[in-house]
Structure 1
Amino acid sequence: MKNISRRNFVKNTALTAGAGLAMVNTTEAKASKELFVHHVYFYLKNANNEADTAKLIEGLNALTKVPTIRFVHIGTPASTNRSVIEKGYAVSWLCFFDNLEEEEIYQKHPIHLKFVEEYSHLWDHVIVYDAIGPRREKQK
């Protein structure tokens, strides 16, 4: 074993600890600037069925209890009319997560699994758009 002075030991320990903290702080800073967006469009088996739409919205409201969700929006098609607007879906589910890992926790969460089990009979299919990018504050 190499003989090391107390001064060098303390210096090396401080440098190692500092490097570790810098790595943790960089990771935390990156994670806090990252945003994961999960947008799901539900197309019901019984399109335009108000009872089925209400039932699905009931299930989505229960799904908001998953703790990793930071912000959520449940919506139905707006009355806008332009050629680029898709209006064939019944309900839109939009939620934001701090990062991909938080969204993966949501996917496996018992509340989410229960939602799929109890409400999937209502939809014909879903389309999911996932996106990741930096957090940005709106410019004033």
Structure 2
Amino acid sequence: MSTHNRRQVLTAAAALAGASIAAESAAAPASGKGGKELGGKATTPPVVHHVFFWLKNPKSKQDLDKLLAGLRTLAGIETVKAIHIGVPAETEQRGVVDASYSASEILFFDDVAGQNAYQIHPIHKQFVADCEHLWERVVVYDVKPAPLS
């Protein structure tokens, strides 16, 4: 898969994952971390930080478990309003599906300032210090809502 196609696939995956979480939030009552009420429906915060990780040792369950445990600590950061941590789903393999990554995180923030605060937060810094030796590659997509018109 070309770099251009891979970027399109990962962008589409980020958008689909965000839509999936938004639908899940809309189906459940809003809570402190699950979204805000808007017209009787739950909504997710508007700034999305989606990160894909490729492990140096992708077959190591121990390395994956350590990465996932580290990712879970990020929920403790005050500006993180919702979090989704996952691994590639066992969906049908199609040309547009890139399941080469080891794990993914999707974090939701109320605004860019919240995402900026997350980047320098001690919990985030500790996560990087504890886990960066595990990955060989990281790809980040920061997304905001598109204009309505």
Tell whether the structures are fold-level matches, with TM greater than 0.5: yes
Equivalent in the alignment of 2:115:
103
**Identical pairs, percent:** 42
Name the SS of the counterpart of 1:58 in structure 2: helix
Matching of residue 126 in structure 1 with residue 138 in structure 2 = yes
Matching of residue 37 in structure 1 with residue 73 in structure 2 = no
TM-score by length of 1: 0.70
> Is the contact between residue 45 and residue 108 of structure 2 (CA under 8 Å) also seen in structure 1?
no
Alpha-carbon distance, 1:45 to partner: 0.3
Q: How many residues align?
A: 104
C-alpha distance in 2, partners of 1:36/1:86?
A: 24
Report which of the two structures shows the higher radius of gyration computed on alpha carbons. 1
Alpha-carbon distance, 1:34 to partner: 6.7
- Residues 1-140 of structure 1 mapped to structure 2, 5 A cutoff: 35-80=46-91, 81-133=93-145
TM-score by length of 2: 0.66
Unaligned runs of 5+ in 2: 1-43
> Is the contact between residue 34 and residue 133 of structure 1 (CA under 8 Å) also seen in structure 2?
no
C-alpha distance in 1, partners of 2:49/2:144?
A: 9
Paired residue type of 2:134:
L
Paired residue type of 1:75:
G
Name the SS of the counterpart of 2:116 in structure 1: helix
What whole-Å deviation, never above 9, does each CA across 1:2-26 have from its counterpart, x for those lacking one? xxxxxxxxxxxxxxxxxxxxxxxxx
What whole-Å deviation, never above 9, does each CA across 1:70-117 have from its counterpart, x for those lacking one? 110000000112211111100001010001110000001000011101
Unaligned runs of 5+ in 1: 1-32, 135-140
Alpha-carbon distance, 1:48 to partner: 2.2
**RMSD value over aligned CA atoms?**
2.0
> Is the contact between residue 47 and residue 112 of structure 2 (CA under 8 Å) also seen in structure 1?
yes
C-alpha distance in 2, partners of 1:120/1:96?
A: 22
Paired residue type of 2:63:
D
